[in-house]
Chains A and B, each alone.
Chain A
């Protein structure tokens, strides 16, 4: 059974940093692209980042470029999102998602980690 479990969320002040982790199990982690998708309270979904199976290709939504860094450790079956220079508008539930085998769709999702940016 595919499982994705996010951790590391919490309350942080504007300008601060936070690192999210996603522990994956139930599949061969290195075979799959992974994503971060966020959802502000009461709002819709926003794709944040993509990382390929080896970590060699990474893409971000423009609003987080230069501030967020996605990475993965295939030996630990883990995905990460380092978030720096956080802004109020980064407040959201952050979901870790696994891609479909060959296509950029989100086949499996974690339960999400809430990040609140507030002074």
Chain B
């Protein structure tokens, strides 16, 4: 099983600041990694897939990078509505797994 770890656990920033979230895999997942945003009481929303491709309707301030074992989600200029928990997920092999999440407080 591929284990995903995320850091930091919590990120507290101000509107307009840049957020950098990290996801590390226990073995290479190539570029087979996605990022999701989950707000309280809501299901997750797909933000980025295959490490760097924005999903439909996702604002340009969200970007993803990385390959192999190290990945980054960047939110270039935080908006108040970006307050959420962000999860990474790989599709490299069964079982599909998620990271534990990074909580972003704005």
Q: Do A and B bind each other?
A: yes
- A residues apposed to B, CB below 8 Å: 44-47, 50, 59, 61-62, 95, 100, 103-107, 109-112
State whether B46 touches A106 (Cβ < 8 A).
yes
In the complex, which of the residues B45, B95, B101 has the most CB atoms of chain A within 10 Å of its own CB atom?
B95
State whether A107 touches B95 (Cβ < 8 A).
no
Contact with A along B5-45 (1 / 0, CB 8 A): 00000000000000000000000000010101010000111
CB within 8 Å for A110 and B98 given contacts A103-B91, A104-B91: no
* A61 and B2 alpha carbons, distance in the complex (Å): 12
State whether A45 touches B91 (Cβ < 8 A).
no
Q: Which one, B45, B50, B55, B97, contacts A47 given CB within 8 A?
A: B97
State whether A47 touches B43 (Cβ < 8 A).
no
Extra contacts, 17 of them, besides A50-B94, A103-B49 (Cβ < 8 A), are: A45-B36, A45-B44, A45-B89, A45-B98, A47-B96, A47-B97, A47-B98, A62-B95, A100-B46, A103-B32, A103-B91, A104-B91, A105-B34, A105-B91, A107-B55, A109-B44, A111-B43
State whether B94 touches A59 (Cβ < 8 A).
yes
* A118 and B2 alpha carbons, distance in the complex (Å): 31
Q: Does B87 contact A (CB under 8 A)?
A: yes
Q: Does B66 contact A (CB under 8 A)?
A: no
CB-CB nearest 3 A-B residue pairs: A109-B43, A104-B91, A47-B96
* A45 and B38 alpha carbons, distance in the complex (Å): 10
B contact residues around A103 at 8 Å (CB) = 32, 49-50, 91
Subset of 26 A-B contacts with CB under 8 Å: A44-B99, A44-B100, A44-B101, A45-B36, A45-B38, A45-B89, A47-B95, A47-B98, A50-B94, A50-B96, A59-B94, A61-B95, A95-B44, A103-B50, A103-B91, A104-B96, A105-B34, A105-B49, A105-B89, A106-B36, A106-B46, A106-B89, A107-B46, A109-B44, A110-B43, A111-B43
